[in-house]
Structure 1
Amino acid sequence: MRRYAPPGRAWYALRRTLPPWSWERNLDELLRFCREARIDEVIVKVDTEEFSHGQVPLDWLREYLPVLEHIRNALAEIGVTYSLNPWITLGHTDRGRDSRKAFPDMQMMVGHDGAECKACACPLCETWRTHTTQLWRLYASTRPAVMWVEDDIRTFNHLPVRYGCFCPLHLKAFSDRIGRRVTREELVEALLAPGEPHPWRARWLELQGDIMVDVVANLAWVVQETSPETRMGLMSSGPDLHCLEGRRWWEFARALQGQADHLLSRPPLGIYSENSLRDFYYGGASIRKTRRALPPGAIELTEVENYPFSTFSKSVALTAMQMALSSALGCHGVTLNLFDHLGNPMVNSAEFGRMLHEEKDYLTALASRSSPEAKFAGIGILQHERASVTKHLRPGADYGELADDGGAWAPLLEAMGFAVTWDWENAPVLALSGQTVRAFGDGEVERMLERGVLCDLQAAQALIDRGYGRYLGVKIAKRGLIHDLGPVAAEEFFDPEFGGEPQRYLSATLPSLSSDLEVGVLELAPGARALSRLVDCDRQVVAPLMTVFVNELGGRVAVLPYDLGGLWMMAGFVQPFRREQLHAVLKWLARGPLPLFVLAGGYALPTRAEEPGFSRVTVFNLSLDPWQDTRILLSANGRQCQRVEFLDESGQWVPVPAEQWRTTEDGCLCIVHPQPLTYRRPGAWCVFWKP
């Protein structure tokens, strides 16, 4: 197959719509833009957004096919790759469309609450499958390098349907599986039953997973039968949400890949409109979580999107940061959805083109040291595609609460300078939150508890429910909202061995200005030790908080009995006192230096990746304040440093003077960066180890 997005360079794939009424002038501008902005690929979007017809009429597409062929040929003449991105598969939302008029036999999506779509189809519907097969055969006839499947290939977020599909076809298929007729109301009640999951939940998610594997296998077959050289691409919505529909990632990916050598993946980065630099935590996690979920070998092009377009929506600087994040985390390139799909000229936002041209050399230098095969090192975070199957729900839970909730520690730890990883198997410490640990087998859980584990309230409860309470060193006497405990004032960090001292207080109300945070009142087992406690307005003890314990397996466990998934305001939790305590606790859990700790101003996004012969460290400053004298501390694992290189502003890897790095007594490599580090570009270092 044709070589595509070679590793070690920045690959730009522009997503662009050329509407039927303006495609000729749009194409002239597009060809100029590709040359000037150094675009490698154009992903043509079809029947897009505001001018979408809903379910695409076959006659409309037949008339538009010559336009697509003309675009493909024109791009080929200037050496730019042509790919195709139909805007819908099932349909995103109705947006006032009613495709039932054109397709009266098409079954539309039905929600768990009975809501019905008018333009978003049910994936079991044979009318939809036949129509989509015809459409995709026509799309494939234009021989695109990649055919992208949009993130509407899911059962949730098809407004007015929030969670589907509970149409008659799905209910019949499920009834056939369990051997009796089931109504929508019965099924939803069983799926959301509190406590121990109802057996139907696993069967329902299995059915949904089976249906979607069958759907994407057919899409791949149709495309590759028509155009054998075409690869398939998948836009996804993140593993946490796809749990809701029982996605079995490896099986799903293999089915969609078809006969091609690679599948393409487009993980979401969020920040469609600019708000806060803190939103970067979502994108950094999304890249790593999606990569973890997929089989090895996928080509990754992240979703850099500006909606509703122009610099009024998102700045050029923030867009460049997202591109740098993609290169730093080993992605092959970026897809760029920067301009509207209404036929308006791109010159209206010419700033983006200039930025793309100027940044490419820097991004290529960053990508040259960043491979997708590298394993990230840090505090381990769990995810599991069966988390929705095993989750215990509260009475009256919303359907969305079935989502995987195992990542709450990740942005909190990163903000305080601790690198995290979803490659958790070799992590010295695991940070457990939510109920994801319920999805793991007994042997896996016991191996976790043999090393260092940090638990929030929900994770501790899940382990206790499974019979592992004696390994935690605590019992949960009761749970409730923090202000139900009385006039709680502050958390006191009193233990000097773990970053505390008497009367060192942190507000207990800041995390819950909008709503109370749930907390557990712990009873400590013999040998357990409290490091902090809640106190009232007279400084009297209300309840212990952070505890540490060495269990009978030899593992070390710390419990902080906050439900971190319910934390409303990050700034109330990530504080200098908290960072100091957690640094000591995590080192104690790890029995030595941490994989990576960055001591700098507030809101870091640090990563460490292990490449052959060197470790790559990148640090994003997600605050507006420049950092001075940033300190990078990474475990050497018994190795000696040979040299350190830093990526400078011009995109050159330059040696770091020997006086700026040293090995500490506890086996850390400490790098001091004396120059200001701003949000504009990440700090990037390569540490080469002696053979």
Structure 2
Amino acid sequence: MNNGDSTITIPEATHTWNNTMPLIVSFPGDLDECLQQCKAMGIDRVFLLANLIVNGDAPTMDDFRKDALVLKERMAFFREAGIDVAYWGGSIGHGMHEAHDFGFQEIVGNSLNSAPGQFCPLDPQFQAYLCDVYSLMAGTGVDLLILDDDFRQHSHSDPMSCFCPLHLKEFAQRTNREWTADELMEAVLIGKPTQWRKPWLEMMGDSLYELAGMLEQAVHAVNPQARLGLCSSMTHWSGEGVRMPELLKRLAGPTRPFLRVNGAPYWSKEPHHAGWIVEYACLQKQWMSGIDVEIIAEGDTFPHNRFYTSAAMLHAFHQGLRAQSFPGVLNYVLSYTLMPQHEQGYVKKLAEQREHYEAISRFIPANYRTVGVRPYYVPYNFEHIVLPDKISSKDLYWREEPYALQYLARLGIPMTYSDDEGPVLISGYNGIGLSNSELEKLLDKGAIIDGVAADWLVERGIDIGVVQIAKVGAPAFEKFVDPEICPGNCGESVWLPVAPREHVFYDCKLHENAKMVSEFYRLSNEYAYPGVIHYESSSERRVCILPFDLGGVREMKQIMYNYVRQEQLARSIAWVGRQPLPATIHHHPDTYLICRLSPKGDRLVIVLQNLSLDPVVNPIFQLDPATAINGSMELLLDGATAPVPVGAYKYTNDSHHGYLELELELKPMGFMALALQLDSRTN
């Protein structure tokens, strides 16, 4: 046992943080009380949100004129207090009203039903209406306006749109043939990509590009300095047919673009969801790398009371964002329609933890890079993916959901999205749009591959150690057979209840050099087919195959969430990458791990968020065995405003890993950040 007494010099933080909050323009509460809450949380910008419903219907221009007068008044109020103001408005619509007599073409989804109160961006009358709205609001002198995440064509009443007469006519003109809605859906929403999917996506993207350009012109005609930005939706990164940098450029014109990414605390139906939602925000930020854009995260607690989203969840979201040096967040902490004192839990938590959040940013400078396994997700991939053979709203909703983030964030395995760091995890159809030479280069990093990706890689003739592959029914047990990969459970089996009805497992006929590290068995205890596979090619490329669809098994009990898989996956990543990850943690559920490394490689920060409802007692971190533990360690604990030296700890090293055990207890939803000073042997 050691008692650490050395301290680490922490470099000056370079992290900037934009702390913002939405508020209804015609907010009914006491503005002075609201202002005090803003100051307590350190809010630097208020987003005044337009009324999206007036008397059960979409707002008229007269309604917006009233809002514009209130916006001017409240803009002056908050600016006098040193708080910036932005205007936040709707666009295509959320369908929360009846929209009786507007006369606009409504979105038509894949059910061929109209989406009430959600309007087609190709409708000239709707285009003129929306431009008038944003021209009016820009004329108030506000310096930032943002479109809500309804500026999209998909995921309104149906997952996929728009098949209205205007879009059918436009597509007919582009393709020199007539289309019915059924014909077009069959051509673009079923099976493998056809010759029509790409031009359909281009038409869809142009629909938004055109309207974005009109809005930019309308805003800058009356307020040249104003910025026009966007709240993203999942579909912006997938099937809308747009490229986000171009869409933001069309909106912003000559000004600096603005983006609120999506992924919010209210998505967290269970505490463990907080980790992957932070990661999803970071993934979107990475997709925008190299572009000068102001980015904030979506701190939405919808419907803004703690019956649905706890203050602890919002707090964990903040801690994760800070640990990732994310540049800011939009905090949805007050009710849209009730007095500010109605729900005080969020404000109280963020105000209490304000100095703690700043301490996290100081402890983990923004120029530290994130290290770990790289989940390979690419935006705008809808053009390439294979869709089901029948159109189903259930199957079409968010086809490219990043399930790997959810698994890794619960299994204590750190992630990165940098192009040149660590091995990769390839799942689903991510990467299918790459050339074979690009795929070979990606796989040479060392790769974890799921069954879907293995299937199309084999079809493409890429050597991953599989000669033939075919879908099969689910097994009942998985037996772990490799003593190096699962040393504590070799020879044991995990039961796999609640099998999916669809065939989402894959039977692989293996290359002679491929090795099974686990095997699948039937309920009769009869061998079924290979489980997890390791393969090293003649060119010394290493891959590990998880022979199932990572998305398709998400409801299957224990296939991913068990302690043996937790260890097996971490050791498999180490095997394909030829060295262990900087840190992992085993035998604790729902442990979200982040690893950040200094530019010189001389300081490693390991962040652990316990997103379980059980405490983590005496956590043991598995480290790269080259990491020297010399007593120079510091801890930033949950709620703390300054780090302290590590107290009692134990360290052992078996040449495969170093094992660092800290003698502490991390409470449910707790946070800790551990800094290790590294010497030259680690670099």
Same fold (TM over 0.5): yes
2:546 to 548, 556, 560: 560
Amino acid at match of 1:522: C
Q: CA 1:145–1:610 in structure 2 vs 1: closer, same or farther (change >3 Å)? A: farther
Shift of 1:198: 0.6
Is the contact between residue 457 and residue 520 of structure 1 (CA under 8 Å) also seen in structure 2?
Answer: yes
Q: CA 1:554–1:60 in structure 2 vs 1: closer, same or farther (change >3 Å)? A: same
Shift of 1:689: 4.3
Q: CA 1:97–1:689 in structure 2 vs 1: closer, same or farther (change >3 Å)? A: same
Moved over 6 A (4+): 636-642
Is the contact between residue 232 and residue 257 of structure 1 (CA under 8 Å) also seen in structure 2?
Answer: yes
| 1:532 and 2:518 matched | yes
1:465 to 459, 481, 487: 459
Shift of 1:502: 5.7
Distance 1:327 1:139 in 2: 33
Q: Equivalent residues in 2 for 1:535-614 (5 A)?
A: 535-569=521-555, 571-572=557-558, 573-599=560-586, 601-613=588-600, 614=603
1:47-84 deviations in whole A, cap 9, x for unaligned? 14686632x31111112322111101111121111111
Aligned twin of 1:34: 38
Is the contact between residue 248 and residue 258 of structure 2 (CA under 8 Å) also seen in structure 1?
Answer: no
Q: Secondary structure at the match of 2:432?
A: helix
Aligned twin of 1:167: 164
2:496 to 502, 508, 533: 508
Aligned twin of 2:98: 97
2:225 to 219, 229, 254: 229
Is the contact between residue 190 and residue 389 of structure 2 (CA under 8 Å) also seen in structure 1?
Answer: yes
Q: Equivalent residues in 2 for 1:25-64 (5 A)?
A: 25-48=29-52, 53-54=57-58, 56-64=59-67
1:270 to 243, 264, 275: 264
Shift of 1:394: 3.3
Q: Secondary structure at the match of 2:266?
A: coil
Distance 2:212 2:146 in 1: 11
Distance 1:374 1:453 in 2: 24
Distance 2:180 2:576 in 1: 50
Amino acid at match of 1:498: I
| Higher deviation after alignment, 402-411 or 73-82 | 402-411
Aligned twin of 1:3: none
Shift of 1:362: 0.7
| Higher deviation after alignment, 451-460 or 500-509 | 500-509
Distance 1:52 1:282 in 2: 36
Aligned twin of 2:10: none
Shift of 1:532: 1.2
Give the alignment's TM-score, normalised by structure 1.
0.88
| Higher deviation after alignment, 31-40 or 456-465 | 31-40
Amino acid at match of 2:112: G
Is the contact between residue 269 and residue 282 of structure 1 (CA under 8 Å) also seen in structure 2?
Answer: no
| Higher deviation after alignment, 294-303 or 359-368 | 294-303
Q: Secondary structure at the match of 1:534?
A: strand
Distance 1:506 1:91 in 2: 48
Aligned twin of 2:21: 14
Shift of 1:352: 2.6
Aligned twin of 1:646: 635
Shift of 1:406: 7.1
Amino acid at match of 2:109: G
Is the contact between residue 25 and residue 67 of structure 2 (CA under 8 Å) also seen in structure 1?
Answer: no
Aligned twin of 2:617: 628
Aligned twin of 1:78: 81
| Higher deviation after alignment, 458-467 or 494-503 | 494-503
Q: Equivalent residues in 2 for 1:450-529 (5 A)?
A: 450-468=444-462, 471-482=463-474, 488-499=475-486, 503-510=491-498, 512=499, 515=501, 518-529=504-515
Give the alignment's TM-score, normalised by structure 2.
0.89
Distance 1:685 1:52 in 2: 52
1:204-226 deviations in whole A, cap 9, x for unaligned? 11221222223223333333443
Aligned twin of 1:134: 132
1:528-549 deviations in whole A, cap 9, x for unaligned? 1111112234533121111111
| 1:448 and 2:459 matched | no
User: Which one has the bigger helix percentage?
Assistant: 1
Amino acid at match of 1:437: G
1:619 to 590, 608, 616: 608
Identity of aligned residues (%): 21
Shift of 1:575: 0.9
Distance 1:534 1:586 in 2: 21
Is the contact between residue 496 and residue 556 of structure 2 (CA under 8 Å) also seen in structure 1?
Answer: no
1:19-52 deviations in whole A, cap 9, x for unaligned? 3xx64x5423322332344332211111146866
Is the contact between residue 408 and residue 434 of structure 1 (CA under 8 Å) also seen in structure 2?
Answer: no
Amino acid at match of 1:269: G
2:411 to 413, 416, 438: 416
Aligned twin of 2:234: 238
Distance 1:640 1:677 in 2: 22
| 1:219 and 2:215 matched | yes
| Higher deviation after alignment, 365-374 or 562-571 | 365-374
Higher relative contact order (CA 8 A, sep 6+): 2
| Higher deviation after alignment, 173-182 or 30-39 | 30-39
Q: Which runs of 5+ in 1 are unaligned?
A: 1-5, 483-487
Q: Equivalent residues in 2 for 1:120-159 (5 A)?
A: 120-159=118-157
Q: Which runs of 5+ in 2 are unaligned?
A: 1-12
1:408-457 deviations in whole A, cap 9, x for unaligned? 3332233221112232x323321111111212222210112223111111
Q: CA 1:492–1:258 in structure 2 vs 1: closer, same or farther (change >3 Å)? A: same
Is the contact between residue 653 and residue 659 of structure 2 (CA under 8 Å) also seen in structure 1?
Answer: yes
Distance 1:309 1:148 in 2: 21
Aligned twin of 1:206: 202
Shift of 1:291: 0.7
Distance 1:587 1:155 in 2: 42
Shift of 1:346: 1.2
